[in-house]
């Protein structure tokens, strides 16, 4: 049993006041693996005060020195990669080998890339008689989710620190242990006291306290669209800068001239990564009506290769969901789809055979899904792929754009130019062309109710900068 009853505030581990704790369960067994103290208004006030006090000195620190701290944190993550990867696999359910590459490898890349950008970025430029300064926003509150917990933390913390901001982090209470590991690495890096602070707690208490705090200059939030709207509403009272990375219902469109033997298995993989617990997952697979049966056969064959099991065991290609609450939510969506007329090709809401404990849901493919169905409009956040048929390219585009979301997408065609032309019409922040690989340095963010602002690369760094003009 892991016990965490301290928060990291002003360079020290401070015992959390009060007696509120949350239990963190191991995703593969459902057993409690940790008890974490939940902070409150006291911890928020202390952390924000520390960040405000530290801001003057940190913002005046040369960018190259701030970048050096990012490199130290990157190195510290590298040294603890195996330990942290296993911790996240247990918390979230991603198979261990993938957890090393994605859940720890991506954060390492982000800290390294931000260090490089900090050394090269033009914080001062000229426009005629104006000297243009790019200055840090100030005190940043970072509120992060549980699905890619350390990656989402790094996507906020790394650029904020390099930009010269000070930070208060509120990680998800569902998977908070990795944030403690990062805080220990940051402490060992020698980062000045107050520049980084960790406060645990619920969104309703700690998240809202940060959003309304008068000494917080910016909120960087990743999570559900519902929670993001609440954060933006509260923060608007003090006109804070708010960036939101929210939900998605992303479409993968296979045009009739595409290589279906490549496209369909790739689409399945883009839906099932991290057991479908991915905001940018391509959860809707759109195919020409005359090729629907071919796509069904190929999708089922691909789904059958996803061995479900303990994320710490070799051979497991898909792990459990993060919690029992999430498992019940996903099962409810599957049952809803079937009641609305969808066809179950593989999987379903029943307990997977041989897996009597843990938060498991079988890899599931639904066909005959139509745009008005709940599963075609709402984010499921589980291993559920919806196959949808279209009559022509116009209908495919209408279906792809026909949700409140616009985070990601994919297009497959025998002609790269045709795929790009289709992608230009999709109202979404990122589109894969013929299975294009994820680029951790490309801008990431959404249109519509998938949010605003961008993370990663120089776009992510610029979110944490103000612009000032000195007229000479």
Residue 323: what pLDDT?
Answer: 95
- How crowded is the C-beta side of 32, counted as CA atoms within 13 Å? 9
Rounded to 5 degrees, what are φ and ψ at 132?
-95, 120
Provide the annotated active-site residues.
245, 279
pLDDT value at residue 342: 98
Could you give all domains of the chain from N- to C-terminal order, each with its CATH number? 2-246+449-471 (3.40.605.10), 250-439 (3.40.309.10)
Cα–Cα distance, 413 to 256 (Å, whole number):
7
Whole-model pTM: value is 0.96
**426 C-beta neighbours (distance < 10 Å), count:** 21
Q: Degrees (nearest 5) of the Cα angle 434, 276, 225? A: 100
| For the chain, counts of helices (H) and of strands (E) | 16, 21
Residues in the chain with pLDDT < 50?
Answer: none
Query: What does 89-126 look like in DSSP terms, one character per residue?
Result: HHHH---HHHIIIIIIHHHHHHHHHHHHHHHH--SEEE
Within 10 Å of residue 351's Cβ, how many Cβ atoms? 15
**Residue 41, CB half-sphere, CA atoms under 13 Å: how many?**
2
Could you give the CA distance from residue 365 to residue 282 in angstroms, rounded to a whole number?
13
Q: Give the residue among 410, 402, 408, 420 at the shortest CA–CA distance from 447.
A: 408
**Would you give the DSSP letter of residue 308?**
B
What confidence score (pLDDT) does residue 71 get?
98
């Amino acid at each position: 049993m892991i016990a965490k009853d301290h928060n990291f505030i002003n360079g020290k581990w401070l015992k959390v006041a009060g007696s509120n704790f949350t239990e963190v369960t191991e995703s593969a067994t459902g057993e409690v693996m940790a008890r974490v103290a939940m902070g409150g208004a006291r911890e928020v006030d202390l952390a924000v005060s520390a960040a405000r006090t530290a801001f003057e000195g940190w913002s005046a620190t040369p960018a190259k020195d701030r970048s050096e701290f990012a490199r130290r944190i990157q190195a510290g993550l590298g040294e603890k990669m195996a330990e942290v990867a296993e911790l996240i696999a247990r918390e979230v359910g991603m198979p261990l080998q993938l957890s090393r590459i994605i859940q720890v490898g991506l954060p390492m890349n982000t800290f390294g890339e931000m260090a490089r950008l900090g050394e090269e970025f033009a914080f001062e430029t000229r426009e005629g008689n104006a000297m243009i300064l790019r200055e840090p926003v100030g005190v940043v509150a970072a509120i992060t989710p549980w699905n890619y917990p350390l990656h989402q933390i790094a996507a906020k913390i790394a650029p904020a620190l390099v930009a010269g901001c000070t930070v208060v982090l509120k990680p998800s209470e569902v998977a908070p242990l990795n944030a403690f590991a990062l805080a220990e690495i940051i402490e060992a890096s020698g980062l000045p006291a107050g520049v980084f602070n960790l406060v645990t707690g619920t969104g309703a208490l700690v998240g809202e306290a940060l959003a309304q705090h008068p000494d917080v200059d910016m909120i960087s939030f990743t999570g559900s669209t519902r929670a993001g709207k609440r954060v933006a509403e509260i923060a608007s009272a003090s006109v804070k800068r708010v960036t939101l990375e929210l939900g998605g219902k992303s479409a993968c469109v296979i045009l009739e001239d595409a290589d279906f033997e490549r496209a369909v298995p790739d689409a399945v993989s883009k839906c099932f990564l991290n057991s479908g617990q991915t905001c940018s997952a391509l959860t809707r697979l759109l195919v020409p009506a005359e090729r629907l049966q071919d796509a069904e056969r190929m999708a089922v064959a691909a789904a059958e290769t996803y061995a479900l099991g303990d994320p710490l065991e070799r051979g497991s290609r898909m792990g459990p969901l993060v919690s029992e609450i999430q498992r019940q939510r996903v099962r409810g969506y599957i049952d809803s789809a079937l009641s609305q007329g969808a066809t179950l090709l593989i999987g379903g809401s029943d307990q997977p055979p041989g897996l009597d404990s843990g938060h498991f849901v079988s890899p599931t493919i639904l066909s005959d899904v139509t745009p008005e169905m709940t599963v075609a409009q709402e984010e499921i956040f589980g291993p559920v792929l919806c196959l949808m048929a279209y009559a022509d390219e116009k209908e495919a585009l209408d279906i792809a754009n026909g949700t409140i979301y616009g985070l990601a997408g994919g297009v497959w065609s025998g002609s790269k130019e045709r795929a790009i032309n289709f992608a230009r019409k999709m109202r979404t922040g990122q589109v894969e062309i013929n299975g294009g690989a994820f680029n951790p340095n490309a801008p990431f963010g959404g249109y519509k109710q998938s949010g605003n602002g961008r993370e990663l690369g120089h776009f992510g760094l610029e979110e944490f900068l103000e612009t000032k003009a000195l007229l000479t």
